């Protein structure tokens, strides 16, 4: 693939901009400054290069894990709070996409006050696979509640509660009172404000909400709020097969 096309696929600008970056000596591969935008470069995940001092690793598709902090919105055009996309480097926000929106997209959304594990990608099929209720991908939430939990509340969440916009009961796949004010809830579908509404339906109230796990993928303890990392090939494959 031509070098300018590689830079383009990674989100470093239009092909013309990418060609200009090379011609101006801003691109380095294997420690050598590149000068020819049309030079053929062997492409494979793991190819490393530097653009204007920024080290980058080539990925045909981007699969990311973000530790979403509180006070952020999962929207490209936030209404009140800063967007989660400002936490990502520019190339990830500008990666070309066949759709109307450029860059990686969040798979589902977390409320502005909800923290924890969020996946982002520019792979439309992966977004559909992970977001589809047909595949029942489990998501684990750590819920701080206002009132002490009792067995009746846990049993109701497991048996199913009726939300105001859906006559069909919504059930937790798993539910555990970890502490009097700490509920661990596993869901396999994603409705609007689902955790908050389910907890309210059993007579309690969510005070804080954190997503700790999707499928077998757990939010790394060393990843601070606002930080992100690439998913490994093994993690992506495990998520694809999650049920």
User: What does each of the 243 residues of the chain score in pLDDT, given as a tens digit?
Assistant: 999 999 999 999 999 999 999 999 999 998 899 999 999 999 988 899 999 999 999 999 999 999 999 999 999 888 899 999 999 999 999 999 876 678 999 999 999 999 999 999 999 899 988 877 777 899 999 999 999 999 999 999 999 999 887 788 999 999 999 999 999 999 998 888 999 999 999 999 999 999 999 999 999 999 999 999 999 999 999 999 877
DSSP character for 51?
E
Gyration radius of the chain over CA positions: 21
Within its chain, how far is the Cα of 28 from the centroid?
30
CB-based contact 81:72 (threshold 8 Å): yes
pLDDT one-digit tens code per residue, 69-109: 999 999 988 889 999 999 999 999 999 987 667 899 999 99
Specify whether the CB–CB gap between 62 and 231 falls below 8 A: no
Domain layout of the chain by residue ranges: 3-57, 63-133+217-240, 138-214
36 is catalytic: no
CATH architecture label of 3-57: Roll (3.10)
Instruction: Determine how many CB atoms are found less than 10 A away from the CB of residue 3.
Output: 22
> Given 5, 30, 40, 111, which residue is catalytic?
111
Domain over 63-133+217-240 is classified CATH 3.30.70.580: yes
Q: Would you identify the CATH topology of the domain 138-214?
A: Alpha-Beta Plaits (3.30.70)
Q: Whole-model pTM?
A: 0.92
Q: Do domains 3-57 and 138-214 have the same CATH topology?
A: no
């Amino acid at each position: 693939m031509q070098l300018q096309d590689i830079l383009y696929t990674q989100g470093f600008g239009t092909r013309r901009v990418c060609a200009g970056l090379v011609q101006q000596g801003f691109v380095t591969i294997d420690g050598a400054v590149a000068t020819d935008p049309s030079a053929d470069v062997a492409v494979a995940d793991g190819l490393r290069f530097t653009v204007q001092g920024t080290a980058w690793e080539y990925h045909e598709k981007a699969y990311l894990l973000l530790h979403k902090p509180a006070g952020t919105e999962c929207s490209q055009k936030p209404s009140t709070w800063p967007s989660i996309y400002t936490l990502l480097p520019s190339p990830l926000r500008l990666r070309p996409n066949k759709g109307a929106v450029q860059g990686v997209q969040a798979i589902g959304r977390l409320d502005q006050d909800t923290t924890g594990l969020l996946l982002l990608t520019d792979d439309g099929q992966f977004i559909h696979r992970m977001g589809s209720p047909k595949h029942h991908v489990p998501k684990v939430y750590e819920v701080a509640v206002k009132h002490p939990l009792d067995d009746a509340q846990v049993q109701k969440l497991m048996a199913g509660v009726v939300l105001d916009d859906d006559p069909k009961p919504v059930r937790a796949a798993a539910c555990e009172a970890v502490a009097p004010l700490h509920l661990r809830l596993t869901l396999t579908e994603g409705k609007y404000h689902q955790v908050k509404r389910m907890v309210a339906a059993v007579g309690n109230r969510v005070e804080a909400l954190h997503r700790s796990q999707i499928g077998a993928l757990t939010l790394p303890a060393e990843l601070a709020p606002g930080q992100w990392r690439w998913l490994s090939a093994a993690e992506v494959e495990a998520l694809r097969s999650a049920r």
